[in-house]
Chains A and B, each alone.
Chain A
Amino acid sequence: MGRFTLDLAHMLAGGMVLVSFMMLYQNRLLGLLNVFAFHAVVLAASVAWQAWIQAAPHLYVTAAIALVLKAIVIPVALHRMVMRLGVHREIETVGGIGITMLMGIALVALSMVVMLQAAAEADPLAREDLALALSVILLGLLMMVTRYNAVSQIVGFMSLENGLILAAAGAKGMPLVVEISIAFSVLVAFIVIGVFLFRIRERFDSVDTHALDDYREGRQ
Chain B
Amino acid sequence: MGLIREMAVQGAQMVFVLLLAPLLLGLTRKLKARMLDRVGPPILQPYRDLLKLVRKDVVLAENASWLFRVAPYLIFAATWVAAALVPTFATGLQFSWTADLIAITALLASARFFLALAGMDIGTAFGGIGASREMLFASLAEPAMIMMVFVVALVAGSTQLSWVANFMLTHASLRVSLGMALVALIIVALAENARIPVDNPATHLELTMVHEAMVLEYSGRHLAVIELAAALKLLLYVSLIACVFVPWGLAPPRSGFWPLVVGAGTYLAKISVGAFLLVLFETSIAKMRVFRVPEFLGAALMLGFLGTLLLFVSRSF
Contacts and interface: CB of A to CB of B under 8 A. Distances in A.
Interface in B148-179: 173-177, 179
Given A21-B302, A128-B316, A112 B310 contact: yes
A25 B316 contact: no
Given A21-B302, A25-B295, A98-B298, A116 B313 contact: yes
A18 B316 contact: no
B317 A10 contact: yes
A128 B309 contact: no
A104 B314 CA distance: 19
A105 B174 contact: no
B267 interface: no
Given A105-B306, A105-B309, A109-B309, A128 B314 contact: yes
Interface in A110-128: 112-113, 116, 124, 128
Contacts of B317: 10, 14, 128
B42 to A, nearest CB: 38
Nearest to B313: A112
Secondary structure at the B interface, as helix, strand, loop or mixed, is helix
Contacts of A4: 173-174
A105 B180 CA distance: 13
Contact of A15 (B179, B294, B302, B314): B179
B180 A98 contact: no
Which of A6, A10, A128 has the most chain B CB within a 10 Å cutoff?
A: A10
Contacts of B316: 6, 10, 124, 128
Interface string B274-317: 00000000000000000000110011001101100110011011
A11 B176 contact: yes
B109 to A, nearest CB: 22
State which size class the interface on A falls in. Answer: 20 to 34
A113 B313 contact: yes
Contacts, number: 67
A105 B313 CA distance: 13
Contacts of A3: 173
Interface string A87-109: 00000000001100110110011
A105 B147 CA distance: 14
A101 B183 CA distance: 16
A176 interface: no
A25 B292 CA distance: 11
A18 B180 contact: yes
Nearest to A25: B299
A205 interface: no
A122 to B, nearest CB: 13
Contacts of B174: 4, 7-8, 10-11
B298 A101 contact: yes
Contact of B305 (A7, A105, A124): A105
Contacts of A102: 302
Nearest to A98: B298
A11 B179 contact: yes
Contacts of A8: 174
A18 B176 CA distance: 9
6 contacts: A10-B176, A18-B179, A105-B309, A113-B313, A128-B317, A131-B313
Given A10-B175, A101-B299, 17 more contacts: A4-B173, A7-B174, A10-B174, A10-B316, A11-B174, A14-B310, A15-B176, A17-B306, A18-B183, A25-B299, A97-B298, A98-B298, A108-B306, A112-B309, A112-B310, A124-B314, A128-B316
Closest 9 A/B residue pairs (Cβ)? A14-B176, A7-B174, A112-B313, A11-B174, A7-B173, A101-B302, A10-B176, A97-B295, A98-B298
